[in-house]
Structure 1
Amino acid sequence: MLESDMEAGRNFENPSRLGLLFLSNSFIAHPFSRVCAARPRALASCSKYRRLEKRKSRLAAYLPSVESLNLQDFFPHGPLRARSACSFGHCPALGSKFRTALPVPLPVGTAGRRSGFHVYTYLRISMRVLLVRLPVILLTLVLAWPASAPAQPPSAPGPPSIRREVRVGVPGVPAALDPAAALEGTIPLIARQVFDTLVAYRDGTTDVEPALATRWSVSRDGLTWSFTLRDGVRFHDGTPLTAAEVAVSFTRQFRPEGAGTAVVWPALFRGTPGVVRDVRAADTRTVQILLVQPYAPLVTVLAHPGLGVVKIVTGSDGTARLIGTGAYRVVDVSSGRLALEAVPGYWGSPPKSERLVFLEVDDDDQAEAELDARTLDVWFPPGPPRRTEGALSLPGLRVGYLAFETEKVPFSRRKVRQALAAALDPVVIGVALERAAVPLQSFLPPGMWARREGSPVLGGSRRAVKTLLAEGGWSEGLRPTLLVPSEASPVNLAKVAEAIRAALAAQGIHLALRLEPPDAARAILQRGDHDLALLEAPVTGGDPHLFLFPLSTSEAAVKGPRALNFSFYRNPQLDGLLIRASQLTFRSERQRLYQRAQVLLAQELPWLPIYVRLNWALTREGVRGLRLQPTGFHHFDTVTIEAPQGSGR
């Protein structure tokens, strides 16, 4: 090994351990040995030198002597250089611990040596001698080895075993899994594990990334979107994914025979078929979505699990069922229970859990008992769980807001609306929200792409409130009515409304509360017979258009059943921003427009963001890798369960 390295003319930048032992004799014969002996602390490399000297003493009986190597750069950190090297007119730069110069002749005059005898030649001879003696060395070491090695210490306990099944508690388990049947809740949560979408939501946000489609493009007129499918994707029955299958999967949701049960399509595409004219396969790997008008939210909403690609197959019992291309497939469905099994050869990262079992869990008592008994691993409650240990939460996409009827005095005056915003203390509101939600200080919730991080919307000084009320012409005798729907919700709307009334009363603004059943409250809102109302709205599909447009534009401010803008605020400038943002295909330009729209909303305040609901999960000890998502469509492919050692569960 050493001889071949020498003949190749290599500098020993990284010599082998065996090579270092062979060269130890030459190192300790280095002329700098006198320096280290005289000044042991002068050079940092002396300690290295001493280690090599010890090696020589151990191997002296076996290794042949070698003439001293003139190693010029043995000390990388010091200015000292070998005098013999500089005498040849060559002083290489210091830097490497084992860097050697060009071959330098050994000193002449040594007994038995002839002039011009080089170290490389001598090393070749020495290596031949060593190869002859090597068997003797090895035999000596074997005979000298102790007869019995010391006993091994007892091994430390191994890591806990990993259970490959995750049991998930949910409020309700569907008898049949159809992703098109629900926008929120358990169905899209389970569908996300079984049916892949063309694009997928990124972790922690509503921005999207490639999934079944690796890339996409749009025509110049914004009416034709083309998606290129990923190679090698197969359905759970082993058949390959094609563009024709994607087209059939989408058209089943807006055809007359399927439109009656489809909930997702009309909500995301403004009706059935809405803005979509047709879906077709351009070739085996390209699917095209043809639009009636430009609709930029298309790419974002395609990540919703309700638009997962399905294939209809006939089971052994003759019934039709849906299969997908996701990481899991359905293997068992019974009352209150649905089991999924990991699919071998999945195109994405293989899931860490082999099985997911969704179980119906109704309340805290049942969930806590099953978590303690280790028959349940994760529970997703509809609201905050009673137990705090093992609880996880993340802001979701359901926003509570205060809508002013801007067609009525005094809320037609911007200064009055600004005064109420300044009078609301988010700390007081946060206490009333308890653990179901958190105060929201912007017009889009955290995790939403295009959200503007700016000045807080709520809160201000008493002087600012008084000044704004005076400029807005507020009268002391005014007593507007706050309409509150009395619907069941994790957020106690009546309690939040009472906190709002108390906060405003402290600033001299007095309100009357009016609680109405949901249907009656909606009729009042559609007629515009309210002064202000405490309401909730979801960010459907994760796109700002499906939240800001219905709450803020003139198109949705038409009284009657089609009313969605319950502030009945109309502003042509805001309309123009939101309409353009819904049509432009460049996401960076859309984001810029939505940022400007949020600035305008903060100035005009037709409605006030009050809170954003939290998504909750309760886990038992040993659950690892659970990542909550603002959409509520959580991932389970990274979840594992660490079972205690010796446990069979």
Structure 2
Amino acid sequence: MLHKRVARTRRIALIGLAGALALSATACAQSERDGEQGGGGQAGGTLVFGAAGAPKNFDPIFNDDGESFRPIRQMYETLVQYKPGTAEVEPGLAEKWEPSPDGTSWTFSLRKNVKFHDGTPFNAAAVCANFDRWFNIKGAAAQSQMIYYGDIFGGFAQNEGDATGDPLYKNCEAKDDSTAVLNLNKARGAFPDAFGLTSLSISSPEALKKYNADEVTQSGESFTYPEYATDHPTGTGPFKFEGFDRAQGTITLVRNEEYWGEKAKLDKVIFKIIPDEAARKEELRSGAIDGYDLPNPADYNALKEAGANVMVRPVNNIMYLGINQTNNPALKDVRVRQALDYAVNKDQLAQNKLPEGGQGRDQFVPAETPGNTPNVEKHAYDPEKAKALLKEAGAEGLTLNFYIPTEVSRPYMPNPQELAGAITEDLKAVGITVNAVPRPWNGGFKDDVQKAGKHDIHLLGWTGDYGDAGNFIGTFFGREKAEFGFSDPAIFDALSKADSQVDPAAKKAGYEEASVLISKYVPAVPVSSSPPAIVVGGNIQGIVPSPLTDERFATVTKE
């Protein structure tokens, strides 16, 4: 039910420190689990959330973007999940988990009496069926966007698609209904955190078969997905799929009355697709929607004055200036790459172009994540040093093609063209000629940069998926990629070694070593981090802002 006005009620306090926010948020979530109504909210009703775009589909394994993941997270669950407001893992569909001493086997003790939305039982056989499905997928389904599976598990049984490395997955054993054992070919430091990735949500094996989940077809660069992905997603979560009205641009979820845990307080959640950010703001102000993600920082005060809750998330992202060493010979010289780092006034950019709490960065691992180290080689803003290095390298008068994404806003990059403009002026100030090459995010920028490597430099970034340094520097620099166009065995080996560590202290030390190597090599320039926000009407209670953008709506109430 759409509310007619945005009520001026209690606001969730904005807390600058991530730890304080995490503590407050966790306490709030626990209070609601204990039956409190979050300061006067009532159970029932409908939450209408403004979405920036349509989901690609609803099959978790085939997705890699926030607009798809947001409804998926309400319908599906993973073996482990992240504590509200933090990147720390806690029990999900698994009550506990234990690795073998060498990290090549993980034993999961599963929750009992859990059912999928189609009424079939969740058990160890279902867990193994999902892992086997992902590993054995082939054809167009393997060519589709199984990015997260490829990043974590390395390769498929047939080594198709982007995941063409040595497969990490060996097999899965259902010891009994409530015990699943995942066997790997080698240890991975990303676990157990990565088991909470939305892409690795557990689907009903019966629904996967019934609705031909793997029958993906391909035409050129486009993929067509089967009924399971488009109309019959079937998980274990607190909300169930009711329908996607493509003509109206609305996705409707309803409360799962058979949910194993505390049932959702809302009757329904509707995602209303509103591509224009200004239109989303106006619909919130009018009461047509109850919230939306990534409000423009320039609108924070106006939204608050209108009675909305602007909730700033803890920082867990980075924006970087990517460098492609393949196309321009000058960029193979580390002195030129260092010059780019010295040339960018990161602190000024953060102060003038990012929301409050934005900060310049000297490395790619977030400050709160093990692997961040003060020992990195720092290239603080120094345009004269940049000019000297360019001269020393014989690169005076350097010209660079700067690829800039358009038609997109990201937590780390709220206004790409404005941010790119500031960086361009810094580069021009040290004598570099910059040719701006704007490209639409989908169907242009990502293809040109991440697949074809057509650029010299580019603007991009990353929001962490879980609390592990490998999710940042391992994802960026762990292997040869068209985006960066370099090969450095020392960096690759250091990252591989760090990722193979089971002991947290050894893993931390390994990623610190890799961070130092990366800072000296400068495969890209770390620029800034930005605290993104989510906004809801003043009559909405119970949303816990997540550093992973992992907000769940089961605890939400509406006055």
Does the pair score TM above 0.5?
yes
| 1:570 aligned residue (488, 512, 515) | 488
Q: 1:415 to 1:270 in 2, by over 3 A?
A: same
Give the unaligned 5+ runs of structure 2: 1-38, 158-166, 212-226
Equivalent position of 2:473 in the other structure: 548
SS of the counterpart of 1:302?
Answer: helix
2:149 paired with 1:270: no
Q: CA deviation at 1:197?
A: 0.3
2:80 paired with 1:199: yes
1:609 maps to a residue whose letter is P
> Kindly, what percent of the aligned residue pairs are identical?
22
Matches within 5 A, 1:31-180: 162=42, 164-165=44-45, 166-174=47-55, 177-180=58-61
Which has more radius of gyration?
1
Q: 1:416 to 1:628 in 2, by over 3 A?
A: same
Equivalent position of 2:508 in the other structure: 591
* CA–CA distance in structure 1, aligned partners of residues 65 and 454 of structure 2: 30
| 1:483 aligned residue (386, 398, 402) | 402
* CA–CA distance in structure 2, aligned partners of residues 327 and 281 of structure 1: 25
Equivalent position of 2:271 in the other structure: 358
2:437 paired with 1:515: yes
* CA–CA distance in structure 1, aligned partners of residues 454 and 267 of structure 2: 55
SS of the counterpart of 1:278?
Answer: strand
2:552 paired with 1:635: yes
Per-residue displacement from partner, 1:579-617 (whole Å, max 9, x unpaired)? 111212223321221122223323443321123465442
* CA–CA distance in structure 1, aligned partners of residues 268 and 537 of structure 2: 18
Equivalent position of 1:625 in the other structure: 542
CA contact (8 A) 2:320 2:524 kept: no
Equivalent position of 1:286 in the other structure: 179
Q: 1:383 to 1:228 in 2, by over 3 A?
A: farther
1:250 maps to a residue whose letter is F
Q: 1:634 to 1:528 in 2, by over 3 A?
A: closer
Q: 1:455 to 1:284 in 2, by over 3 A?
A: same
SS of the counterpart of 1:598?
Answer: helix
Count of matched residue positions in the alignment of Structure 1 and Structure 2: 471
2:459 paired with 1:535: yes
* CA–CA distance in structure 2, aligned partners of residues 494 and 374 of structure 1: 31
2:188 maps to a residue whose letter is Y
Equivalent position of 1:81 in the other structure: none
* CA–CA distance in structure 2, aligned partners of residues 477 and 616 of structure 1: 41
Q: 1:597 to 1:185 in 2, by over 3 A?
A: same
Give the unaligned 5+ runs of structure 1: 1-158, 557-561, 643-649
Q: 1:354 to 1:521 in 2, by over 3 A?
A: closer
Q: CA deviation at 1:199?
A: 0.8
Q: CA deviation at 1:577?
A: 2.0
Matches within 5 A, 1:377-456: 377-380=290-293, 388-389=302-303, 390=308, 391-394=310-313, 395=315, 397=317, 399-403=319-323, 405=325, 411-430=331-350, 433-434=353-354, 438-444=358-364, 446=366, 449-452=369-372, 454=374
* CA–CA distance in structure 2, aligned partners of residues 341 and 522 of structure 1: 36
Q: CA deviation at 1:351?
A: 3.8
SS of the counterpart of 1:629?
Answer: coil
Equivalent position of 1:337 in the other structure: 250
Q: 1:261 to 1:496 in 2, by over 3 A?
A: closer
| 2:195 aligned residue (290, 302, 306) | 302
So what's the TM-score if we normalise by structure 2? 0.71
Matches within 5 A, 1:371-382: 371-380=284-293
Q: CA deviation at 1:524?
A: 8.0
So what's the TM-score if we normalise by structure 1? 0.62
Per-residue displacement from partner, 1:536-591 (whole Å, max 9, x unpaired)? 243574343243235335x41xxxxx53433x15252x333211112122233212
| 1:607 aligned residue (509, 524, 542) | 524
Q: Which has the higher contact order (CA 8 A, sep 6+)?
A: 2
Q: CA deviation at 1:426?
A: 1.7
Q: 1:209 to 1:372 in 2, by over 3 A?
A: same
SS of the counterpart of 1:323?
Answer: coil
CA contact (8 A) 1:396 1:629 kept: no
Q: CA deviation at 1:173?
A: 4.7
* CA–CA distance in structure 1, aligned partners of residues 449 and 150 of structure 2: 25
* CA–CA distance in structure 2, aligned partners of residues 213 and 392 of structure 1: 30
CA contact (8 A) 1:484 1:497 kept: no
* CA–CA distance in structure 1, aligned partners of residues 312 and 171 of structure 2: 40
Q: CA deviation at 1:403?
A: 1.9
Two-structure CA RMSD over aligned residues (Å): 3.9
Q: 1:627 to 1:475 in 2, by over 3 A?
A: same
Equivalent position of 1:217 in the other structure: 98
Q: 1:238 to 1:494 in 2, by over 3 A?
A: closer
* CA–CA distance in structure 1, aligned partners of residues 408 and 379 of structure 2: 23
Equivalent position of 2:89 in the other structure: 208
Q: 1:253 to 1:409 in 2, by over 3 A?
A: closer
